[in-house]
A and B are shown apart, each in its own frame.
Chain A
Amino acid sequence: MNTDIRRRAFLTGATLAGVGALAACTSNEEPPPAAATAPQGAQDAPGKRVTVGFAGPQADHGWLNAITVNARAEAQRHSDVELVVAEGSNDAATQSAQIDALINRKVDVLVVLPADGKQLTPAGRKAMDAGIPVINLDRIFDSPQAYRTWVGGDNYRMGVNAGNYIGQQLKGQGTVLELAGIDTLELTAQRTQGFDDALANYPGIRKVGRAAAEFTVPTGQARMAELLQAHPQFNAIWNHDDDQGVGALQAVRQAGRSDFLMVGGAGSKAAMEAIKSDNSVLKATVLYPPTMAASAVRLARLLGQAKGVSDLAEQEIPASVTTFSAVVTKENVDKYLPVSFE
């Protein structure tokens, strides 16, 4: 029996070691992409040391991954900032425990991108009560008492700007489709509402179809292939998310179609490169900048050092900062390429 166990342990050990070795030799050797952020502000001179706690959701792909990358890179740029990152989780209970741990560690400022804003409101409140200012990133807490400052994107305006861009490109005439993200998320509803509101400005434009993918590449390919089959003729499509857009663009190529224009969402590197090379139906993407994470770290640092922001008359950090959902086209893509994500 003993030998049996030993043999089994050996087998397991050997296979695990094999997998590990393989992983080591084929991983990407390219250095992690440096988060490109806007130029430093005037308050950049090193000051009092600030420990910033960061708790985000599981960053397994696309935009969420870019959030963590941006936060880490920004912290590295400041000699007076120490960033303590909690392992990301999509489970509200786990994330709440992580926030507790960061409070116990007595970080100076806390940056939280909650897995679920409603469920994590008590956790934010607890930190605020403990005297730790919370910067609420993107997914909003239920109560303003749970955060000092909110930094996030504008989903509604993403839809508005995508709709207006398409309206102008089509000169107010034609039919459009929508490839949405996960339909159970509030942000998807906001993006769609914005899109519909903007299209209402153009009575000659009709939305004839909509399908929801799941933010993944294969679902983007599948739903797009189905939409193309369902609509042999249309003039434009707005795809909410560039990550699923990789699959969507593939479906367009597979169907051999090029008779319409496509607008993306979020601002991935692949999308911006496609816009720049202008060799596909993708002509633009509306931003939902992951640089908001870098901004949050900067604001956390200033909060910790009790400074205000320059270029505003305010003595204090504002209570909310909303990023702008700019439309990236071939004309301005070079300006935004550095903030794109893989």
Chain B
Amino acid sequence: MNADQAVAPEPARRFSVRLREARNLGLVGVLAVLVLIGALTEPGQFLTTGTVVLVLTQASVIGVITVGMTFVIIGGGIDLSVGAVVALATVWATTRSTQQFGITGIVFTAVAVGVGCGLVSGLLIAYGRLVAFIGTLAMLASARGLAIQLSQGRTQTVTSSNQALVDLGYQDSYVLGIPPLVLIFAAVALVGWLVLNRTTFGRRTYAIGGNLEAARLAGINVKLHTCLLYVLSGLCCGIASVMLIILTSSGTSGNGNLYELDAIAAVIIGGTLLSGGRGTLVGSVLGVLVFTVISVLFTLNNLPTAVQQLAKGVIIVLAVLVQRRASLYSSERTTR
């Protein structure tokens, strides 16, 4: 909001980190309550390794997308195209001609399509001066359209010669009891955290989202940086697409449906400001976990979908209210 945020001196930065941690407490509380409900309603099934593995696996695909989304939103933008880009990348990576090149071909294609889409969005927004909302909305429409065209409306399954890729989702592939998908998610989240909190790139992301003009005056190449944020989001979509192919053994144009809303919701309840400049990756990851736990909790208790959607809405509101409380309290205390 103001120029000091962009060129924040070290002590102030540490303060803002502490502030953000306080904001996450609300989310940890919500998560704890959900786990408690699970433990009380389904004692035999909920507090098991199986449930933990299930929650983490189900959270992994949307989790990786959320990492990219967190960068974009902290940088003052938004990416509405993530779901459509995932659809396009899974479809493209599972076409017959791509599959001839084996697993490397599938993985390379998915990541390349993700990065390519991110680059197009980034160029349109940073250099073409399109509003992020419009630029990524255009990408949403065209990527989904191209995905339908490419797949001709079919569900394209991974061929048997590439079975080893799909096998990564099976229990035999678990590393020390952890599914590879969860390891990928953890790695992406860790790298994302390091980049956001320990590098110049991360500091510049906060600076641009906080105050674009100040960031420009401070000598940051704002256009290039903005463009790179969308490339990063596209890269995350590409990685998530590979994970989705492992999880479902197929690519269809219906993949990634409404992922953009899930990812944005997770980032926002994770305490990141939609206007940019402030937020944490830890919060976003917690946000994704909250949504996944709700879903598992409902199926475990055999509750109807309509009630689940209602509960999701209530929890979004509750989490944000609790966070606002926490942040108001901590900012009052320290600014005086």
User: Within the assembled complex, what's the spacing in Å between the Cα atoms of A8 and B223?
Assistant: 14
Q: Does B299 contact A (CB under 8 A)?
A: yes
A215 → B minimal CB distance (Å): 8
B98 touches A26 (CB 8 A): yes
Q: Does B128 contact A (CB under 8 A)?
A: yes
- Chain A residues near B11 (CB-CB < 8 A): none
Interface size class of B (residues with CB under 8 A): 35 or more
A222 touches B58 (CB 8 A): yes
Per-residue contact bits, chain A 273-289, to B (CB 8 Å; 1 contact, 0 not): 00000000000000000
Contact pick for A229, options B54, B146, B305, CB 8 Å: B54
User: Within the assembled complex, what's the spacing in Å between the Cα atoms of A216 and B257?
Assistant: 9
Q: Does A342 contact B (CB under 8 A)?
A: yes
A residues touching B (Cβ–Cβ < 8 Å)? 8, 11-12, 15, 18-19, 23, 25-30, 32, 59-62, 64-65, 68-69, 183-184, 208-212, 214-218, 220-223, 225-227, 229-230, 232, 243, 246-247, 250, 253-256, 268, 270, 342
B interface, by DSSP: helix, strand, loop or mixed? helix
Q: Does B214 contact A (CB under 8 A)?
A: no
- Chain A residues near B211 (CB-CB < 8 A): none
A102 → B minimal CB distance (Å): 22
A19 touches B116 (CB 8 A): yes
Contact pick for A61, options B95, B154, B166, B305, CB 8 Å: B154
Q: Does B295 contact A (CB under 8 A)?
A: yes
- Chain B residues near A18 (CB-CB < 8 A): 116
Contact pick for A28, options B45, B96, B120, CB 8 Å: B96
Excluding A19-B120, A226-B296, 12 further A-B contacts by CB distance (< 8 Å) are: A11-B127, A18-B116, A208-B302, A217-B250, A218-B244, A220-B248, A229-B54, A229-B299, A230-B42, A243-B155, A256-B171, A342-B154
B149 touches A23 (CB 8 A): yes
Q: Does B253 contact A (CB under 8 A)?
A: yes
B170 touches A256 (CB 8 A): yes
Nearest CB in chain A to that of B258: its residue:
A214
A221 touches B248 (CB 8 A): yes
A67 → B minimal CB distance (Å): 10
Q: Does B97 contact A (CB under 8 A)?
A: yes
A interface, by DSSP: helix, strand, loop or mixed? helix
A23 → B minimal CB distance (Å): 6
- Chain B residues near A342 (CB-CB < 8 A): 154-155
B302 touches A209 (CB 8 A): yes
Nearest CB in chain B to that of A20: its residue:
B146
Contact pick for B254, options A25, A28, A60, CB 8 Å: A60
A186 → B minimal CB distance (Å): 15
User: Within the assembled complex, what's the spacing in Å between the Cα atoms of A208 and B301?
Assistant: 11
- Chain B residues near A211 (CB-CB < 8 A): 299, 302, 305
Per-residue contact bits, chain B 128-164, to A (CB 8 Å; 1 contact, 0 not): 1000000000000000001011111111110000000
User: Within the assembled complex, what's the spacing in Å between the Cα atoms of A183 and B123?
Assistant: 41
Nearest CB in chain A to that of B304: its residue:
A183
B133 → A minimal CB distance (Å): 18
Q: Does B51 contact A (CB under 8 A)?
A: yes
Q: Which of B242-275 contact A (CB under 8 A)?
A: 244, 247-250, 252-257
Contact pick for B128, options A11, A215, A256, CB 8 Å: A11
- Chain B residues near A69 (CB-CB < 8 A): 153
Nearest CB in chain B to that of A59: its residue:
B153
B252 touches A217 (CB 8 A): yes
Whether A15 touches B123, Cβ cut-off 8 Å, given contacts A217-B252, A255-B171, A342-B154, is yes
Can you name 24 A-B pairs with beta carbons within 8 Å? A8-B127, A27-B149, A28-B97, A29-B96, A61-B153, A62-B153, A62-B155, A183-B306, A215-B254, A216-B257, A217-B248, A217-B254, A218-B248, A221-B248, A222-B58, A225-B54, A225-B57, A226-B296, A229-B45, A229-B51, A229-B300, A246-B155, A250-B248, A254-B247
Per-residue contact bits, chain B 281-310, to A (CB 8 Å; 1 contact, 0 not): 000000000000001100110101110000
A61 touches B250 (CB 8 A): no
- A-B residue pairs, 5 tightest by C-beta: A65-B153, A226-B299, A342-B154, A230-B300, A212-B305
User: Within the assembled complex, what's the spacing in Å between the Cα atoms of A121 and B127?
Assistant: 48
- Chain A residues near B42 (CB-CB < 8 A): 230
